[in-house]
Each structure stands twice: as structure tokens, then as C-alpha cells.
């Protein structure tokens, strides 16, 4: 079984711990009672979007293709943008981060907003610092939002995450970390605050901290990440006692990594009304079709998606190309659309350039046929499983 350095593990390594998106006035306090009251009544209202198939109307597609995160008030586009690579010099960007990279990231952010994508996900451990909390991704995102605010930032939804580091104890540590994230983002609140991974201990305190953050108006919604089914249900129940919905669980999920379907996480999310946010939704670039056995990815990804793996993946990648041609799309857009076809899933691919952000928007406004969805699953099932972040399994 191949070994995957998942987003959680790689991000932790790059920040020195373990191996590992808003209808919002930035100074306005959230309205907690409406969320709590609706949650207690369990009256979630699913979206009834009617997408358009015209590829020239990307903004209209993204605007129409929106969903609420769980039973919260936060509404996001069905595709978001992950900012894991922004400021990173360990796993991404070939070990360097310079002014050109910053300009590319800024262009990716602006292009995303221009085409109607409103959901951006970052974390305090994303950035170039080797030990501890980097935070560079948060700083960059905050800067881009502030710059955009001079023009139009209405509707931008920001999500970030708390790092459950062993020396962080109790609910107070989460609130302190959140306030530091808000400083880096230059915001008074965020739309979604998530536990990046389950802690080695003290998780009950962290969950209480999430509820405290909602009640203090620091966040509009809360979620978890890399939580297995048991931990997910426990977090959901604990928050419910406080009258606060668990909005999301962010996990590694793609056509070539479907552990959430096998370990009960996807089923539990659907049952509880918790949105599954999918990181690495295009297999860290593999499902885009740009890598081949003769041209594997560089760096740590090349050790995972090597020549042997890409050779075995050839039939799947060929099918992605053929289906993409039939729809006038790209393999990457087909891969994202496949995830959305699973329902209750919001993929957040990472965008390093404006061109990538625009391509992601092309996954909205159309749907694969059921036979195409099934055929892609059948071909993907022939590949050897890839293991993900260990927290998903304990």
C-alpha cells in the first residue's frame, strides 16, 4: 500500500510539529441565536441550485452553485480555494517563496473572486516557518482580502484552522490561537474555524473552545478536520449540547482517495448534516492529467505518485480526458465535478495561479451523467489504495 503525505501531515512537517471560504462585514458580530435556534429545530434547508452549462458565464455559475456549510449560516460556492501552498517552502513551490510567487497567489485570489468563487481555506500552520506556527498563508490571504476590499469583497468567506499541538491545553488555548489568526488575517472574525486534526489529548476542551468562539462572535461557524467517524459523532454531540451545529469535517477525498467512503466518515457527514470539505480533491495534481509515467511530480509528491503508480493510473486518466472532451471540459474539472456528484461535498483545490483558479470555476454549472460517475469510480477502484493522515484511522 502506497504511503501518502496528506495535507495535514505535510503541513505539520513544514511547520515543525508532526509529519502532515462570506456574506460578512468584517467588523460585524455574528448572529449566534439564529444559528442555534435553527440547529435545535433541525431545519436545514438544502440548496436548490439550477446550474447553467454555458462555460462563458463562470460568475453566474459560481454564484448559483452555492451551499450552506452544515446547519450554519455560512454560504459558500460548491468549489472553494485551498491556500495550503501560499507561503510554503517545504511541500510546495520547490523549496522557495519569492515576490513572483506572491504575485501569482494574489492573481489566483483575485481571479477566484472575479469568477464568483467565494470560499478560501487556510490554516495557522500554512507558511514557510519550519518550527511552530508559520501563519504566512493567513497573512497573505488577509492582505489580499484587504486589497480587494477597496474594490469589492462582499461575500468572501474565510476559513482557517487551529493546530492541536501537544503543548496547547484547554479551551483557552484555542481562543488565544484564534485571536492570533485573526491578527494575521487582519479580521475581527472568520466564517469557519476548524480543528486541523484531533489532538493527542484534550479534544473535549478544544470542542468547548469552538463553542466559546461562536458565542464570543469570533466565528460564524465551526468545524473539524481529519476526524474519523467516532470523533466526528462525538464532536457533533458535544457542540449540540451548546446549541451549536458542527458545520463541516475537512478530510482528504478525491477520485483516487476514497477512504471517507470506506471508514464511515462520508455516511456520518450525510446523516448528521455536516458538510464534507474535500482537500487534495485532484490528488495533489495527479487528476489534472499533467503528470505521466515519464513526467511524475517533483519533490515529496514524486515519491508517492511515482512512475509505477502513474502507469497503473493511465486507464483512469485516459477516461478523464475522454469524458472531459465530451463535455468541453478539462480532466481536472471532471475530477472536481465527480466529487460534487457525491453530494454534500465541497472540494477546495489549491490555486497557485490565476489560470488554475479560472479552471476550477469551470467545474461548476454542469453535471456528469450517472454512468460517467460510475465508470470513473470503477477505473479508480483498480488502483492500489493510498493511505492518508493517520488521524483518520484512530
Copy the grid coordinates of residue 138: 493567513
User: Closest by alpha carbon to 281, among 31, 48, 65, 79?
Assistant: 79
List beta partners, residue 250: 225, 277
User: Closest by alpha carbon to 278, among 164, 363, 213, 212?
Assistant: 363
Helix axes 331-340, 354-361, angle to 10 degrees: 50
126 flagged as catalytic = yes
Cβ atoms of 312 and 2 within 8 Å: the answer is: no
Distance of CA 227 to the CA centre of its chain: 14
Q: What is the DSSP letter of 292?
A: B
Phi, psi of 70, rounded to the nearest 5 degrees: 55, -135
Q: From CA 285, how far away is CA 268, in angstroms rounded?
A: 28
Active-site choice (91, 126, 206, 291): 126
Q: For 267-283, give the DSSP string.
A: HHHHHHT-EEEEESTTG
Q: From CA 172, how far away is CA 206, in angstroms rounded?
A: 8
Strands in 275-279's sheet, in edge-to-edge order, are 81-82, 119-121, 157-162, 190-195, 219-225, 246-252, 275-279, 345-347
* E-state strands within 226-341: 246-252, 275-279
Q: List the Cα angle 283/115/147 in 5-degree steps.
A: 100
Q: List the Cα angle 161/281/5 in 5-degree steps.
A: 70
Sign, Cα dihedral of 117, 111, 147, 280: positive
Q: From CA 158, how far away is CA 394, in angstroms rounded?
A: 29
Q: For 117-143, give the DSSP string.
A: --EEE--TT-SS-SSS---HHHHHHHH
Catalytic residue list: 126
Amino acid at each position: 500500500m502506497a504511503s501518502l503525505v496528506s495535507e495535514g501531515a505535510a503541513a505539520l512537517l513544514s511547520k515543525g510539529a508532526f509529519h502532515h471560504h462570506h456574506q460578512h462585514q468584517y467588523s460585524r458580530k455574528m448572529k449566534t441565536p439564529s444559528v442555534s435556534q435553527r440547529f435545535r429545530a433541525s431545519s436545514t434547508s438544502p440548496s436548490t441550485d439550477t446550474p447553467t452549462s454555458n462555460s462563458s458565464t463562470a460568475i453566474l455559475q459560481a454564484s448559483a452553485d452555492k451551499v450552506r456549510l452544515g446547519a450554519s449560516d455560512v454560504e459558500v460556492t460548491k468549489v472553494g480555494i485551498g491556500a495550503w501552498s501560499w507561503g510554503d517552502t517545504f511541500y510546495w513551490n520547490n523549496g522557495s517563496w519569492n515576490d513572483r510567487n506572491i504575485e501569482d497567489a494574489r492573481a489566483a485570489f483575485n481571479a477566484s473572486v472575479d469568477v464568483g468563487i467565494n470560499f478560501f481555506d487556510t490554516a495557522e500552520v500554512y507558511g514557510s516557518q519550519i518550527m511552530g506556527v508559520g501563519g504566512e498563508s493567513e497573512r497573505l490571504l488577509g492582505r489580499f482580502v484587504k486589497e480587494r476590499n477597496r474594490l469589492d469583497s462582499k461575500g468572501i468567506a474565510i476559513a482557517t484552522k487551529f493546530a492541536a499541538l501537544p503543548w496547547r491545553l484547554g479551551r483557552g488555548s484555542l481562543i488565544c490561537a484564534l485571536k492570533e489568526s485573526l491578527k494575521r488575517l487582519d479580521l475581527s472574525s472568520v466564517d469557519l474555524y476548524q480543528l486541523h486534526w484531533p489532538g493527542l489529548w484534550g479534544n473535549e476542551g478544544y470542542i468547548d473552545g469552538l463553542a466559546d468562539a461562536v458565542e464570543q462572535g469570533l466565528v460564524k461557524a465551526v468545524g473539524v478536520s481529519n476526524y474519523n467517524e467516532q470523533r466526528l459523532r462525538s464532536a457533533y454531540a458535544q457542540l449540540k449540547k451548546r446549541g451549536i451545529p458542527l458545520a463541516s469535517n475537512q478530510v482528504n477525498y478525491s477520485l483516487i482517495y476514497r477512504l471517507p467512503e470506506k471508514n464511515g466518515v462520508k455516511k456520518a457527514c450525510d446523516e448528521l448534516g455536516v458538510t464534507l470539505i474535500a482537500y487534495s480533491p485532484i490528488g495533489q495534481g495527479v487528476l489534472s492529467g499533467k503528470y505521466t509515467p515519464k513526467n511524475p511530480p517533483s519533490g515529496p509528491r514524486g515519491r508517492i505518485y511515482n512512475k509505477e503508480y502513474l502507469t497503473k493510473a493511465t486507464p483512469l486518466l485516459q477516461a478523464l480526458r475522454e469524458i472531459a472532451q465530451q463535455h468541453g471540459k478539462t480532466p481536472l474539472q471532471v475530477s472536481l465535478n465527480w466529487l460534487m456528484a457525491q453530494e454534500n461535498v465541497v472540494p477546495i483545490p489549491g490555486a497557485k495561479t490565476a489560470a488554475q483558479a479560472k479552471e476550477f470555476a469551470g467545474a461548476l454549472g454542469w453535471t456528469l451523467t450517472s454512468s460517467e460517475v460510475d465508470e470513473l469510480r470503477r477505473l479508480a477502484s483498480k488502483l492500489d489504495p493510498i493511505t492518508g493522515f493517520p488521524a483518520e484511522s484512530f
